[in-house]
């Protein structure tokens, strides 16, 4: 197997999912949204037992019968299933994101999800987005991006996404939530959110998604032969 791996990491709301998907589509690579695995595991655990302290103190037991699976259909966004149930839409809330961030500090959870993530390496290649794709899970990747953006811009984007879904939200509130999650993701001891030493950093605050994509794809195309 000679799969090429491209990683796209960064904090929440920075646009990494959009960019990673665009790159995957243009190269004909598979796309992996690692955050959706954390979200699905966290939500399933929460459905089993709302006492998260109890769950975290015996995580191996609570996780033992959980099976997460992506289903791909041509021309459509992939769907995520937990023990056969479609979780695609219900994991997209701020509440589930916070639960995911709590689960993400746990080594057993990270180890289990790392195995899932590695199993998605496929020819001709994979584009994976998350927090530790370039530093840990796919540290061997030859092209790594780390996207950043101001918290205000990230909150604005989130607000617009929510508006599009007919959900009203408050900008200040969203900023607070993003800052809380950034803090949890950056300060955890295992696989914290930091750029890999060899990552290319792109600030997306004042540029459009297509501009970010154009910058990234140019770098990829220049390097694709050697990766």
Residue with tokens 């695609």: 88
Query: 89-117 b/e with 16+ CB inside 10 Å = b?
Result: eebeebebbebbbbbbbbeebbebbbebb
Q: How far is the CB of 54 from ligand DC (least distance, A)?
A: 20
Please state the closest distance from residue 179 (CB atom) to ligand DC, in A: 12
- Nearest approach in angstroms of CB 221 to ligand DC is 26
Of 82, 42, 43, 46, whose CA–CA distance to 65 is shortest?
82
**Structure-token match 């191996």, residue found:** 60
- Shortest distance in whole angstroms from residue 103 CB to ligand DC: 7
What distances in angstroms separate CA 44 from CA 19, 34, 38, 107, one per listed residue?
28, 16, 10, 18
Least Å from the CB of residue 201 to ligand DC: 17
Pairing between β-strand 85-86 and β-strand 4-9 as defined by DSSP bridges:
unpaired
Q: Cβ(24)–Cβ(30) under 8 Å? A: yes
Which residues are within 8 A (CB) of 74 and not within 5 positions of it... i.e. 6 or more apart? none
Contacts to ligand DC by CB under 6 A: 12, 34-35, 38-39, 97, 100-101, 104, 130-132, 181, 185
Q: By beta-carbon distance, which residue lies closest to ligand DC?
A: 35
Q: State which residue, 38 or 87, has the beta carbon closest to ligand DC.
A: 38
Comparison of 38 and 146: residue with beta carbon closer to ligand DC: 38
Comparison of 14 and 143: residue with beta carbon closer to ligand DC: 14
Q: How far is the CB of 178 from ligand DC (least distance, A)?
A: 10
Q: Tell me the sheet residues that pair with 201.
A: 146
Nearer to ligand DC, 18 or 132 (CB): 132
The residue among 15 and 130 lying less far from ligand DC, judged by its C-beta, is 130
Q: Which two tokens stand for residue 53?
A: 């302290």
Residue 89 or residue 222: which is nearer to ligand DC going by CB? 89
Measured CA to CA in angstroms, residue 160 lies from 1, 154, 189, 205, 225 at distances of 41, 10, 33, 15, 38
């Amino acid at each position: 197997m000679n799969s090429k791996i491209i990683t796209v990491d960064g904090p929440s709301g920075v646009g990494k999912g959009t960019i990673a998907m665009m790159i995957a589509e243009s190269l004909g690579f598979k796309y992996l949204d690692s955050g959706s695995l954390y979200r699905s595991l966290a939500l399933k655990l929460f459905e089993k037992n709302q006492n998260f302290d109890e769950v975290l103190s015996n995580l191996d037991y609570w996780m033992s019968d959980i099976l997460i699976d992506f289903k791909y259909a041509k021309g459509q966004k992939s769907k995520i299933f937990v023990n056969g149930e479609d979780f695609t839409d219900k994991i997209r809330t701020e509440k589930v994101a916070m639960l995911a961030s709590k689960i993400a500090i746990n080594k057993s959870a990270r180890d289990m999800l790392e195995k899932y993530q590695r199993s998605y390496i496929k020819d001709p290649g994979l584009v994976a987005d998350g927090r530790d794709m370039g530093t840990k899970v796919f540290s061997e990747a030859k092209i790594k991006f780390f996207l950043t953006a101001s918290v205000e811009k990230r909150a604005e984007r989130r607000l617009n996404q929510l508006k599009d879904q007919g959900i009203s939200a408050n900008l200040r509130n969203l900023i607070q939530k993003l800052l809380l999650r950034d803090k949890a993701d950056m300060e955890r001891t295992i696989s914290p959110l930091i750029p890999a030493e060899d990552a290319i950093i792109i600030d997306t605050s004042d540029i459009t998604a297509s501009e970010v994509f154009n910058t990234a794809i140019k770098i990829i195309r220049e390097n694709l032969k050697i990766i």
